[in-house]
Amino acid sequence: MTTASDTVPAPPSDEVNRDAAAVLAELAGPDAVLRTDQLAAIDALVTHRQRVLLVQATGWGKSAVYWIATRLLRTSGAGPTLVVSPLLALMRNQVAAAAKAGIQAATINSANIDDWRGIEARIRADEVDVLLISPERLNNPRFRADVLPALAATVGLLVIDEAHCISDWGHDFRPDYRRIADVLAGLAPGVPVLAATATANQRVETDVAGQIGEATRTFRGSLDRPSLHLSVADVPTAAEQLAWLDAWTETHAGPGLVYCLTVSEVERVAGHMIDGGVAAAAYTGSTPAPERERIEAGLDDGSLSCVVATSALGMGYDNPLLAYVIHLGSPSSPIAYYQQVGRAGRGRVDAEVVLVPTRTEGDIWAYFASTAMPPKETVEAVLRALATAGPSTVMELESMVNLRRGRLEALLKVLDVEGAVDRNGSSWLSTEATWTYDVERYRQLAASRKAEQEAMRSYQQTGGCRLRFLRDQLDDPQAADCGRCDNCTGERVDQTLDEGAVAKAQQFLRGAEVPIEPRKQWPRGLEGRRGNIKADLRAEEGRALAFGTDPGWSEVLGPLFAGADAPPDDELVRGAASVLKAWPWDGRPTWVTWVPSRTRPQLVEGLAARLAEMGKMELVDAVTRIRPGAEPQARMENSATQAANVVDAFRVGRADEQELPVGPGLVLDDALRSGWTMTVVAEGLRSAGSGPVLPFVLWRRP
């Protein structure tokens, strides 16, 4: 335990000891006993009204500290506790835990909008002991204006859960968390503050402690997880990984979690497991709230043996009986990995943790890294656009600045917190305040993220103790060899594969349907086109052979796209033909054309010719690129710039000057990201008299 000064605080009083033990018994049963640092932290909050930072392992009991402190503070007449918590799963577990101790808890989040007014009325009537909110609420203008000022003035305890999210050095920094500074500034004198995390190295610990107050007392404990057995399995291909997972679930009882890096991979892996008879479910950030609750309950009551999830099911989810956590693909940070594997073994003597690295994880890391702070020139362009155009929506800004929507929204949040912009409803406006892009800070952050990725590679390859490696990354001074991991014991995860299972998995992966939804509306700010795209000028729903890092075909397409242009081989043609065969179109295509490729003309034209021959369709040369010097679409970041870049890039019409066929036509392209190239080509073909346009691309990019 460390403190903010050299003065050793007096031990907790008998009264605090007695009262805290009584509340703990309600929370966890009569046999539960408080840890020394738990009691010291409660005493610091309740008796001394201090600011406290807990850096303790997952399962240590950080939430017990603030529930007990809340109960004791409320009994003494203090105002309600405000808990800032990042995930819905965490909030649901917290509300249930509070009820055990007779604490009236409520939550305001995106899943219970209809309840907000009633909860706000209960807060004003002092009928709520604890209010849990997401950090996004702190950035909501109405909440900041109507609820937060009065709440901050009456709060009896502020709790910042998963406090590493405050620090931009943390593995899961969230700009909305920076609004906690507004809450801190509005607190009445002497209001205690508790920040809690399991994943803070020394740099993050110092940053968080500095943000919550100079006199913060820090309680850092051992980050050992004695129930965990960590291993790494070398299973190279995606099909082999699914076959290995099949064998694992046959020999290991659940409940368990399988983490994947992307939503599409979660859905794919869960689909394969369900097809194989496993009681599994997919859980991602896009899973509706009622479905999330059903899945969590199923994992808790045993009706589900496995949940395949992104990190959306992570911080705060508490099922003490989880028997294993498997990662198909590494997180980009060892600290994030430590946090996720901490779901396992909370109430068990032993639990298995297995990392299965994937070939595509580096590409996924690079994609997420690209969502970090944009370059100085881009940020200044956004500020200039707002200063010139006045209040603008995100959609309007997209037509002025070449920045992807998600990245633009994240940037605006940062600029909002730092006072450079303000939000009024759906519009953003410049505050005209002086704001300086801290080049060196962002360079250091990028270097830190790169170092984390390199450390994750080192974890995969280390011959030393795996848990010690993770604890060293967290600057745990008590780190020691665990004696339980594969390197400590020499016992490796069984990687024996059944060839039939691998073949079946490969068939599953390559049989996945990849639809392409047609664009139906032009983006704002596009010259000459606006509003809805007429139904008779739109493309039909299309198909792609592969999507993103889809392991079924991306492992074939990756080397093909990276190498020299060449005609398609037989394997690729058969794959494309299988997509056409499974396509439930309203009318079979009678002709084929293609979008001229800048870099792979032999591949695209060759595939069009082969498919036309196989399907007895007319091959029609109908699309010509008339702006070959235009910027590649890959450099366009958002919908507005992508559409503007291709809207006049093609001429449509048969090279032989004959009329276009009136039957359905298949239009081929090598890759599709935004869909605007295919939208513009379809509009041209339909305007020139063609029949329905059926887009088909080899690779749909995210």
The residue behind tokens 């993220």 is 449
The secondary structure of residue 649, as a DSSP letter, is: S
513-700 belongs to CATH 1.10.10:
no
Percent of the chain with pLDDT over 70: 97
Please report the pLDDT score of residue 1 as a whole number. Answer: 42
Cα–Cα distance for residue pair 299/279, rounded to 1 Å: 10
The residue behind tokens 């109507």 is 146
Q: Do domains 14-220 and 228-365+455-508 have the same CATH topology?
A: yes
pLDDT exceeds cutoff 90 at 605: yes
**Class of CATH domain 228-365+455-508:** alpha beta
Average pLDDT, the chain: 90
pLDDT exceeds cutoff 70 at 62: yes
Question: Residue 267: phi, psi to the nearest 5?
Answer: -65, -35
pTM of the model: 0.85
372-441 belongs to CATH 3.40.50.1860:
no
Cα–Cα distance for residue pair 148/465, rounded to 1 Å: 47
pLDDT band at 637 (very low <50, low <70, confident <90, very high): confident
pLDDT in tens, 384-404: 999 999 999 999 999 899 888
Strand 157-161 and strand 51-55: the pairing is unpaired
Residues β-bridged to residue 571: none
Cα–Cα distance for residue pair 531/448, rounded to 1 Å: 44
Measured distance between the N- and C-terminal CA atoms of the chain, rounded to whole angstroms: 46
Q: Which amino acid is at 268?
A: R
Question: Mean pLDDT, to the nearest integer, of 309-329?
Answer: 86
pLDDT in tens, 444-461: 988 999 999 999 999 999
pLDDT band at 135 (very low <50, low <70, confident <90, very high): confident
- Domain positions in the chain are 14-220, 228-365+455-508, 372-441, 513-700
pLDDT exceeds cutoff 70 at 4: no
Question: Residue 696's closest CA among 667, 663, 676?
Answer: 667
Where does residue 622 fall: left (phi above 0), alpha (psi -120 to 50 degrees), or beta otherwise?
Answer: alpha
HEC sequence for 82-132: EEECCCHHHHHHHHHHHHHCCCCEEEECCCCHHHHHHHHHHHHCCCCCEEE
pLDDT band at 3 (very low <50, low <70, confident <90, very high): very low
| 179 CB neighbour count, 10 Å cutoff | 23
**SS3 category, 393:** coil
What CATH number does the domain located at 14-220 have? 3.40.50.300
Please report the pLDDT score of residue 282 as a whole number. Answer: 97
Question: Mean pLDDT, to the nearest integer, of 144-172?
Answer: 85
Which range has the top average pLDDT, 25-39, 115-129, 321-335?
321-335
**Of how many residues is the chain composed?**
702
Find the angle CA(169)-CA(213)-CA(176) to the nearest 5 degrees.
45
